[in-house]
Structure 1
Amino acid sequence: MPFKNYKNTSFYLTVSVLIIALFRLILTSVIPLLDKTESRYAEIARLMYETKEWVVLQIDYGVPFWAKPPLSTWLSALSFETFGVSEMAVRFPSFLLAIILIILLGKMAKKEGVSFYLPAFILLTMPEFLIHTGVVSTDSALSFSIALIMISFWKAMQNETKTFWKYLFFIGLGLGFLAKGPIILIVTVPPIFLWILLQKISIKTVYTKLPWFIGIMLTAVISIPWYILAEQKSPGFLDYFIVGEHFNRFLVPGWKGDLYGSGHSQPLGMIWLFLLAFTFPWIQIVLYKLWKGRKTIFKDAYVTYLVFWLFWTPLFFTISKNILHTYILPVTIPIALLMMYWWKNQEKKRTILWVSTIFPALVMATFFFGFLTGKLDFYMNSDKYLMENQAIDFNNKESLYYWKEKSYSGQFYSFGKAKTILNTQALDTVLESENKSFLIVSNRRKKEIPKEYQLQLKPLDSNYKSTLYLLKTWETSVTTQMNNIKNK
């Protein structure tokens, strides 16, 4: 029977991890960049790579992007420098960060006497972690930084003989400031502080365990120079980023000050539903174990530390309405560490392992179903195939336009050449051009185009959200030219 002994369990974990990781790596190449968030950050990285502007992030040519620090964009742009511009290149840094975390936790697992592949299996079967193992996002770099901070602090407090852990704590802080900003302090310092208080650890002990002077200098050297340069090159950045992104976004429901979209307003406490759904089934097991051992939880310093790490983030975001499910990505690490710690005595391992494969199995089944039925292109939230199927040649004076609002995937796959038509006057100008022109119209915006103009549009291709048109005036112009040539 599978999982009857350690050898069978270890084999199942190893094979499962390799299959899921390989499948996830393949997806980084075959799935187009998805609107809106992923393709936006991919386009920001592409602009950095193209313009060589490494300080001020841009959301369009000459338009600064103040909403996030540069770490994830730097990594993606450097990946472009290495591999060229592609989906896999822009996603590879987040995949690599996930693998580094998996290896780090794997080594910790071996020291605890469990399979090296156990934490990898736990993480890769949690929906949130699997999604971010190869997606263009600032949350991957943030989660990596948080894990580095929290693990290194624990190691430093345990008289770890290897001194690099003491410095990794401050390196993690520096990277966190570059990954998402001051929020790194909000999601790491409180759980550490609460743990210190509960364990009655003296300030002197904390002071002597870490190289505070050198460490703070290290954090400052890593992070502060970019903030200074960004404000100098793009005045107003600090006010928008610090006040707007770190206070107004979370404390003002439906915040209207977002320059790059709209607030993601959710019911209060929605973060807990995200936690239950996107870390299934492992959070349910953790909650059961904690409830079962509720009388002794705080007697174990390690479990207490991980519990504070796990629950602080959702607790903090409970009062916020502007949230995303990605905010719970960092807590996948303490969930995995808790399961590693309990695994030797865990009951019903076989059932747990089978149930945990539900999400990755569904993802694989959905992908192959879409691929085999030919529906994958149609249901992807991306405009890649609309352009690719028509082989739009931007180097041969062919133009691509969007009605009212261009998508970020359109910007990325057109290499920044897609333009926006805001009104019928601008559409008249394009219709008068003799160049071959295409127009992508969102299905929800089609009614905004007057009927007399719709007659000038020839539908070529569509997906579930948009339709690609050829401007008929170009066809008429070409036909007229051909007839004139024949008549001569």
Structure 2
Amino acid sequence: MSLKNNFFYLVLFAAYTPLLFLGITDLDEGAFSSTSLQMLREKQFLIPYLGDELRLEKPILTYIFQSISIFVFGISEFSLRFPSMVATFVWGFVFSKFIFSFKNDFKITSVLNIFLLLPGIFLMSSVATADAFLNLFITLAMISIYRFCENESEEELVRCSVWIGLGFLTKGLTIIAICGAVFFIFSTITKKFNKFLAAILSIKPWLIFFTITLPWLSYVYLKIGLEPLSYMFFGQSFGRYTTAFENHDGMFYYYFLVLPFVILTFFPDFVRSLFKLNLKDNLEKFLFTWLIFVFVFFSFSTTKLPHYLIYGLVPIVFFLQKIFLIDRERAPTILENIYQLLIWIMLLGIPYALIAFLPRDNFDISYSILEDTFNQSLYLSIVSFIILFLIVLAIARVEVNFFKKISAAFFLLILSVKILPLIVDLQQKDLRELGKKYANTKEKILAYKINKPSFSFYANVDYHRGLESNAIILTRTDKLKFLENEFEILDTQGNYLLIKIIDE
């Protein structure tokens, strides 16, 4: 392996490692984290609870993975982020191996490198939620679907049913909607609709799917009834498509704006790849169908979140690798150099934009973090040094693929060690420090007029909400005006307080 490749892998490793130690954020990560820890404390792993409330926004599998990780590694951010990181690397490897099995010039390491360099994949790789696992199972199911369309092997149908069953236990009906639709469309446009019919009418895959899913569904039904299950599988899945959850709405062109950012460093190469599509090739046709379906399907969803686009992001890795094979051994063009430079100028300005445009009346944000812990001069020096390094590479006319990859790796490194910690600390550092101070307290803690389950993870206590005179109350300074009772302040951290109601 050449020196420059060793350097590239070192930078990539340095970018991914800090993600494992980022603080936990609210709401989804906080809820998943606190629920997984509560399951471990209560030694029950089949019905997720967040405090006294059912946490059935998602099925059980991710909670189990996270609980196992906490049991093995202890209570830490690493324990929660490690399962998603493992799932991401497996996800990238199985896709790379699949592509290599059909395209021998698409080397596994080359495809995997591009996969790991995409900002959307990078950001998803350590999130303590269900999404990395769901993407892994979607990809595995898609691979089986394509192989079945090529060889009609019942073994592929069996594998597909296993992956869809596990995906169902990870995030409900999402995997069925995506994989089923792509299978239907692809089999129709390739005039292989009989294979689609054969698959859905085959009894064995259905038996395997229900063998995986029915034991847990039956247990939950017997314990808590049908209504919570209906909410989880229909309210959460179809409900998100027809109703904007938590104000996450957007116009139909929302994902046209998101796409350039999730593949930012390689966006021009993706645009070029669209002009080099070979839809006579079944593999390209399948991957393009997968990409377009996800893009269009979620564009018409009422609830819009950036990570929905990740469900269809993997095919882009294939199209980018096609361009990289075409471009190998040439030097970067002036336009390519300018594009990379513009990305770095944007990155250079992010902290200053935060300082300038953060709303000063947002009590969720700890502005003191910007003033006390963010070293602007150091950040400016580091990013400027990287820009100079890239300019030297451009002047030396290094091979264009290495130039883009090392730029992308440094981009992820800056995100990992500077930008993401800053963004997380702005929202979570005060809660995190307050939670650690009261870790393992025997007193009941209630959150009042705020929804911050990450606090309960750091305090290692059950998450409850409300107002009781015999409990410690976690609240925020802007919520004190709603209190009619006298209270004493036990502790403060930034905008957050722990108080106790004084009995009259």
Settle same-fold status: TM greater than 0.5: yes
Q: For 1:51-90, what per-residue CA distance to the aligned partner results, in whole angstroms no more than 9, with x for missing partners?
A: 22222211223x2122111121121112223223222112
Secondary structure of the structure 1 residue equivalent to 2:165: helix
- Report the secondary structure of 1:35's partner residue: coil
TM-score by length of 1: 0.77
Q: Larger deviation: 130-139 or 402-411?
A: 402-411
The reply to whether residue 317 of structure 1 matches residue 317 of structure 2 is: no
What do residues 263-285 of structure 1 show as CA deviations (whole Å, max 9, x unaligned)? 52222331332223223244542
What are the within-5 Å matches in structure 2 for residues 15-34 of structure 1? 15-28=7-20, 30-34=21-25
Structure 2 Cα separation of the partners of residues 13 and 119 of structure 1: 15
Query: Aligned pair in 2 of structure 1 residues 387, 243: CA closer, same or farther (>3 Å)?
Result: closer
Structure-2 residue corresponding to 1:457: 489
The question of 1:392 aligning with 2:392 is answered no
1:73 maps to: 63
Q: Aligned runs of 1:101-116 on 2, under 5 Å? A: 101-108=91-98, 110-111=100-101, 112-116=104-108
Give the corresponding residue for 1:445. Answer: 479
| Cross-structure match for 1:414 | 459
- Could you tell me how far apart the structure 1 residues matched to 2:113 and 2:205 are? 34
Paired residues, number: 431
Q: Map Cα deviations across residues 90-134 of structure 1 (whole Å, 9 max, x no partner).
A: 221111111112222343455522443222221222122101212
Gaps of 5+ in 2: 333-398
Q: Which amino acid aligns with 1:345?
A: I
Match of 1:156 in 2: 148
**Using a 3 Å threshold, how does the CA distance of structure 1 residues 79 and 394 change in structure 2: closer, same or farther?**
closer
- Whether the 8 Å contact between 1:191 and 1:312 is mirrored in structure 2 is yes
Q: Deviation string for 1:244-271 (max 9, x for gaps)?
A: 112222113x45xxxxxx3522223313
1:41 pairs with 2:24: no
Taking the aligned partners of 1:175 and 1:108, their CA distance within structure 2 comes to 20
1:142 paired with 2:134, answer yes
- Residue in 2 that maps onto 1:293: 276
Q: Distance in 1 between matches of 2:181 and 2:423?
A: 44
Residues 76 and 306 of structure 1: CA distance in aligned 2, closer, same or farther (over 3 Å): same
- Amino acid across the alignment from 1:102: G
Structure 2: distance between partners of 1:202 and 1:363: 42
Higher mean C-alpha deviation, range 221-230 or range 273-282: 273-282
What is the match of residue 262 of structure 2?
278
Aligned AA (1:386): L
**Residue segments in structure 1 that go unaligned for 5+ positions in a row:** 1-6, 256-261, 431-436, 474-488
| Higher RCO (C-alpha under 8 Å, 6+ residues apart) | 2
Residue 172 of structure 2 is matched in structure 1 by: 181
Cα distance, 1:386 vs structure 2: 2.6
AA matched with 1:117: T
How far apart in 2 are the matches of 1:123 and 1:331? 13
User: What SS does the corresponding residue of 2:189 show, helix, strand or coil?
Assistant: helix
What SS is found at the alignment partner of 1:117? helix
C-alpha distance 35-210 of structure 1, shift in aligned 2 (>3 A): closer
SS of equivalent to 2:496: strand
In 2, Cα distance between equivalents of 1:120 and 1:146: 17
Inter-partner Cα distance in structure 2 for 1:251 and 1:129: 27
CA contact (8 A) 2:117 2:412 kept: no
Question: Residue 320 of structure 2 aligns with which residue?
Answer: 339
- Counterpart Cα distance in 2 of 1:303 and 1:375: 40
Q: Distance in 2 between matches of 1:341 and 1:359?
A: 18
SS in 1 for 2:475: strand
Distance in 1, Cα, partners of 2:449 & 2:199: 58
**1:203-352 equivalent positions in 2, closer than 5 A:** 203=194, 205=195, 212-235=202-225, 236-252=227-243, 254=244, 262-282=246-266, 284-290=268-274, 292-293=275-276, 297-346=278-327, 350-351=399-400
Partners of 1:458 and 1:472 within 8 A in 2: no
Mapped partners of 1:376, 1:289: distance in 2: 33
Q: Which amino acid letter does the alignment assign opposite residue 361 of structure 1? A: F
- 1:53 aligned residue (44, 47, 53): 44
Identity %: 18
Amino acid at match of 2:301: S
Q: Is the 8 A contact 2:25 2:424 kept in 1?
A: no
How far, CA to CA, are the matches of 2:231 and 2:157 in structure 1? 33
1:364 to 404, 413, 436: 413
The separation in 1 between residues aligned to 2:321 and 2:59, in whole angstroms, is 33
TM-score w.r.t. length of structure 2 = 0.75
Distance in 2 between residues matched to 1:172 and 1:59, nearest whole Å: 28
Equivalent in the alignment of 2:428: 381
Cα 1:118–1:461 shift into 2, 3 Å: same
**2-structure distance, mates of 1:59, 1:471:** 22
Q: Is the 8 A contact 1:123 1:336 kept in 2?
A: yes
